[in-house]
Amino acid sequence: MTVKRLIGIIFIFICTFIAWMILGAVNLSRTGSAYNDLRQDVRSLYGDALKISAPTLQNITMEPYTVSNNNVLETHYSEKKSDIELTTQKVDVQLHLDRRKKGTLWFPTFTADFKATYEFEIPEEFRDKPVNLYSPLGNNNAIYTDINISVNGKKMDDITPFLKQSSLVVDAPGKKLVMKTSYHTTGMDEMSYLVTPNYESVSQIQKLDLTIHTDFKDYDFVPETLSPTYKKHTAKGYDLVWNLKNAVTGKDIGVVIPNKLNPGEILSRVTFFAPVPLLFFFFIVMVISILKKIPIHPMHYFFLATAFFAFHLIFSYYSDIMNIYLAFIIASVVSMLLTATYLRLFTPRYFALVIAPAAQLIYLIIFSFSFFFKGVSGIIGATFAVLTLAVMMQLTGKLNWEEVFNSKKK
């Protein structure tokens, strides 16, 4: 091993690194373009992120005021809106995972069955007077079916005002106004219950009892939202419960819907991290070749790098037309065959058929497959790195590196 050969190997590694970055950028571009186009189609069927908020109740009166116009007093009227306090919210949401595949991509779509009971405390001055009830059912991206709304036990047959983001004028004959509502709807990505009128405001909550039942286990929460008071594991998923009494908060409640593994996400991550497995593989090959005095030219390293690159090339484009796991298996087999059959032409059989394939299996195949699981690739990479370092340190501890890198023949 001479310094020139080492420089040649480093140059080959850099060139392959650049090629992988280009392939990773292409994968990102292909995935992003396809995702945006297909998402619009799915959105038209399921709607966007589902956002549900509690109804509001107001008393609206017209107050007169006078304006002088050419020394003539004119009477005008202005609206005065008085909010009526929402004292109790009892909400039950059944979330059913219904992921949709469009093209080669999966989207986290779901259906929801919503039931709620709301109680308003009517101040004495507003009793026996008409009040305006606002219920947000007018999201253009949402799809509602089986809508049932009742006020003080009376079913509302005409819910058109709600759908037009307007209000329904009802009478408040007593101390309380009780509204019950239920419907079936759909959504994508996440479901949110808006505790506050807008995200930046702070609201006082008298009593909130919200339960979200999921038939999936791999859930998450929308950033900067309230954590559940407690959660209960069920046969299909979880019961997530929020119990709030006399609380003040500016946060809402939101659950992120889990999605299936999309090829584009995995392809990009595997490709961008590809230089790491190649670096380990080159390191193993170089050390073993020095210890066993196996002559390996930089051009041999070049073709070994192309065998690694072939894995990502096949994996990237075969995933478009077949199952991602099948594409991964084909890419792995082809890459390992290229490496083993090539090395057997100029290295001993034990090196070509045992050592090199074992290193490729560990550093390329297993490391790449770890990206199929969230949070695992870093642990596996760190473990393999430390183990490799430990083994190589023991094997090369007595090696005379002066002789190894001495280009002059004795």
Q: What is the mean pLDDT of each run of 10 residues along the chain (410 residues)?
A: 80 91 83 74 84 83 71 72 85 92 81 93 79 69 82 79 63 79 91 72 84 91 90 91 88 89 80 90 89 88 94 88 88 95 92 92 91 79 84 83 65
CA distance 242 to 229: 5
User: What is the number of other CB atoms lying within 10 angstroms of the CB of residue 170?
Assistant: 17
Decide: helix, strand or coil at residue 267: helix
- Residue 81 bridge partners (DSSP): 60
CA distance 67 to 281: 86
For residue 20, give the nearest of 368, 395, 394 by alpha carbon: 368
pLDDT of residue 29: 77
pLDDT of residue 221: 92
For residue 123, give the nearest of 72, 158, 97, 85 by alpha carbon: 85
Pick the CATH number of 49-256 from 2.60.40, 1.10.287, 2.60.220, 2.60.120: 2.60.40
Question: Hey, where are the domains in the chain?
Answer: 3-36+262-404, 49-256
CA distance 13 to 285: 14
CA distance 396 to 398: 6
Interior angle at CA 284, CA 280 and CA 289, nearest 5 = 150
Decide: helix, strand or coil at residue 11: helix
